[in-house]
Amino acid sequence: MLLPDRLQATYWPGGRVPSDGHVALWGTDDPAAAAAALGLPPGKLAELPTVLPRTARARGVVAADVPARVVPVRSAARALAALPPPQDWPGWKRPGDSLLAWSVAAKLALELVAGGNLAPAVRPAGPSLGIAYWRVTPADDGRLATLAEALPPAAHALRREDSDGDDGATWPSGELLTAFCDALADGCARTGATGARPTAPRPTGWMQRWLAALTADDPVVELSDDGIVEEVARWSAPVLCRDGHAEARLCLQLHTPHAEHAENADAPWPLAYHLQAADDPSLLVPAEQVWDTGAASLRVLGRSVGDPQESLVR
């Protein structure tokens, strides 16, 4: 079994909420020194359950536990996002491709979070209890899907615990990238909500309890109804479409005042709402037409758009 001999990075999910995950730095005999040379946090010592080539020429892999330094995802993302792009590295200093790939992932995930592309969620955690957390909502441009396809093997070389006896099974790249983005969404949302808060009575309503759990260190929330988890999942499903390609989206058009009111400083600026095809920005359908149809699909210029009303309110 041979180590890559360049610093690698692998995301390692874990904990009650996505933001409890870590980025594992590994691939050299001294990953702490290699991380320090790149300005990355040293993290804590751990053993990463990964896979390595059996020999230098063999294509087969074997399960291995390798020394690693694990860094909390928020700290790791800040440092990874600050690294130069892959083309700017000199060959003698260039880290492993997996680390550069997670640098790109950190920049993209932080961009999505900064743009408000996140949604609250809840999962069951026992009788009448749930875990509140945040997930990222993919953009319509397909960049996450493209990045997932391009992730080097070492970037997702984390062994699956549920691999049915296959010691060489690792996390699929798309699943691990999604978990990483969700971790940053959860971490940023919770961090942004911290600070001194006025003393208030304990929230009693379900929505108030959910909000409190989404913005507090303790993510546990009491569920008033066991069906709430499924209701939240159905509610958030449209914006959590994980293929990264939406059929249509809301388009807002702000128009200048009409010509007869051009010299009036108080003249209104009309705001128009449209449904816009994601792959053809020139195809616009007025929002009132979408609502008037009330149908599960909308036929426009020979093409069908599913759930048009849902697309308007995402």
Domain boundary among 155, 186, 217: 186
pLDDT tens for each residue of 152-197: 999 999 998 765 566 678 999 999 999 999 999 999 998 765 554 5
More confident residue, 79 or 307: 79
In a domain, residue 214? The reply is no
| 248 confidence band (pLDDT: 50, 70, 90) | confident
Handedness of CA 8, 11, 15, 19 (dihedral sign): positive
39 and 149 together in one domain = yes
The pLDDT value given to residue 82: 96
181 and 309 together in one domain = no
In a domain, residue 128? The reply is yes
The pLDDT value given to residue 164: 59
Number of domains, the chain = 2
Closest CA to 176 of 292, 9, 7: 9
**161-164-166 Cα angle (round to 5):** 85
56 and 148 together in one domain = yes
3-class state of residue 103 by DSSP = helix
Measured CA distances, 181 to 64, 85, 184, 259 (Å):
26, 19, 5, 47
The pLDDT value given to residue 135: 94
Domain boundary among 146, 170, 186: 186
pLDDT tens for each residue of 202-237: 666 888 999 999 998 899 999 888 788 888 888 887
> How distant is the alpha carbon of residue 81 from its chain centre?
15
Please state whether beta strands 248-254 and 220-222 pair in parallel, antiparallel, or not at all (unpaired). unpaired
The pLDDT value given to residue 302: 58
83 and 182 together in one domain = yes
- Amino acid type, 47: E
Phi, psi of 280 (to 5 degrees): -150, 85
Domain that holds residue 24: 8-186
The pLDDT value given to residue 196: 46
pLDDT tens for each residue of 271-296: 999 888 766 677 788 888 888 876 66
In a domain, residue 36? The reply is yes
Cα within 13 Å of Cα(164), Cβ side: 0
Closest CA to 35 of 84, 78, 69: 69
H or E element, residue 147: helix 143-150
Q: Which pTM was predicted?
A: 0.76
The pLDDT value given to residue 286: 87
pLDDT tens for each residue of 84-134: 998 999 988 899 999 999 999 999 999 999 988 899 999 998 888 999 999
What distance in Å separates the CA atoms of residue 178 and residue 180, rounded to the nearest whole number? Answer: 5
127 and 264 together in one domain = no
